Structure 1
Amino acid sequence: MSEQHTALRSMHDLGLAAWFGGSLMGALGVNGAAARIDDSTQRLPVASAGWARWTPVNAAAIGAHLAGAVGELVTESPRVACQPGVGRMSTIKTALTVGALAVTGYSRLLGMRLQKAGGPPVEGTTEPNHQTPANVASCQRQMKLLQWAVPALTGALVVVSSYMGEQQKTGPMFRGLLGRAGTGLGPMSIGKVVGMAAAKRPMAMAGK
């Protein structure tokens, strides 16, 4: 594996790990801790301050993940085109990524609205009480769902990425190649897949 490919995988994995872990910790830790503050008018400002500090790091993590994902897609394009099942999983992964980006972006928009609301009395970061203004309560109810949607989608991305890593093993690659043997696959594409499989074989043997 080339150094460039190793860097791309590291960007992909570390960025996704921070995206998933940060969203889960925020929902459980930041929001949960803010709800325990005695002064109900300080719960929302404290949670908003915590999320605001995390936002630049989260944006960098997402950027690293996307850069790594695009780079991997380019370097693995022969396998995506030739090996059965890889293209389908790439499509699923892309759909999950787009969904996670959309939910993350909308969650941040709601978070900015809550931050601008100041310090209205609330039950928790995502739970209004009877004194909470209607517009704030509406944002909170949406955030209550979205705070779990982000880790769910990014967690699914982790699972899909792990499965796609299994598809890169020599056995599945050769089975896919043999399955395409009679479908008119060009010799140039076959050569690329064989070369990739041969490059991975020594690493697989070394790990035994």
Structure 2
Amino acid sequence: MSSDSDDHVLAQAVHDLGSALWFGGAVMGIAGVNKSGADLSQGIDRIRVAGSAWQRFQPAQFGGIAATLLAGLRLTQVGGRRLALQQGFARVGAVKAGLAVAGAGATAYAAYSGSRIARLAEEAQRRGETVEVHDASLPTDRTPAEIRTWQRRQRVTQFLVPALAGANIVCNAWLVQSYRPVATARGVLGRLLPG
């Protein structure tokens, strides 16, 4: 096995594991972490439990994103000739890179939104106000306006993150399949004989 082949296998494995961690964590956050507080009786505790869980998971999630981005760069280097020779490879690779960067940004913004919700809830609690929420990302009609605004922002980004991470995984699947001999031949012929 050549060094390039070894690099490709290692980079692909790191990329796929990082993407799985990122996507799976985002879906688990929507389905579990943010909703789990609804089982508690007080709104402030509903926010605190989700905030604590996300704070503990954040290093792993951003590690998954870093693995996806860095291994993606390495995969681009290893597959460099395909960018020029194989029709569609560069376009899908560019879309994949854009999705990864946008997803990383959305993840960071979702984390920031969660921290703003937690900070605003704690400030309201210190002022003696009751913080009413259904769960960490879903307000009630009695949720303070500023918290409600940040919850709305977090709800949008919490669904955007797995959509972008999942689309990145789909593009990666297309790129991996393009290494099959028939796909490679079709892509090269498509580049050489357009139309």
Compute the TM-score of the two structures, normalised by the length of structure 1: 0.82
For these two proteins, the number of residue pairs brought into alignment is 183
Q: Distance in 1 between matches of 2:59 and 2:193?
A: 51
Residues 132-180 of structure 1 deviation map (CA, whole Å, 9 limit, x = unaligned):
2211110001111211111111111111111111111011112233344
From 90, 107, 111, the counterpart of 1:108: 111
User: Runs of 5+ in structure 1 lacking a partner?
Assistant: 184-208
Residues 13-38 of structure 1 deviation map (CA, whole Å, 9 limit, x = unaligned):
00000000000001100011112212
User: Runs of 5+ in structure 2 lacking a partner?
Assistant: 126-130
Query: In the alignment, what sits opposite 2:44?
Result: 41
From 28, 32, 39, the counterpart of 1:29: 32
CA-based RMSD: 1.6
From 83, 98, 101, the counterpart of 1:98: 101
Query: In the alignment, what sits opposite 1:84?
Result: 87
From 169, 180, 187, the counterpart of 2:180: 169
Q: Distance in 1 between matches of 2:54 and 2:165?
A: 18
Partner secondary structure for residue 41 of structure 1:
helix
Aligned pairs for 1:139-158 within 5 A: 139-158=150-169
State the Cα distance separating 1:5 from its structure 2 match. 1.8
Paired residues of 2:7 and 2:78 also in contact (CA < 8 A)? no
Tell me which structure has the larger Cα radius of gyration: 1
Paired residues of 2:99 and 2:164 also in contact (CA < 8 A)? yes
Identity %: 32
Matched to 2:107, the amino acid is T
Paired residues of 2:132 and 2:143 also in contact (CA < 8 A)? yes
Residues 106-138 of structure 1 deviation map (CA, whole Å, 9 limit, x = unaligned):
111111112222253212111122332211110
CA shift in 2, pair 1:108/1:80, >3 Å: same
Paired residues of 2:84 and 2:90 also in contact (CA < 8 A)? yes
Partner secondary structure for residue 154 of structure 1:
helix
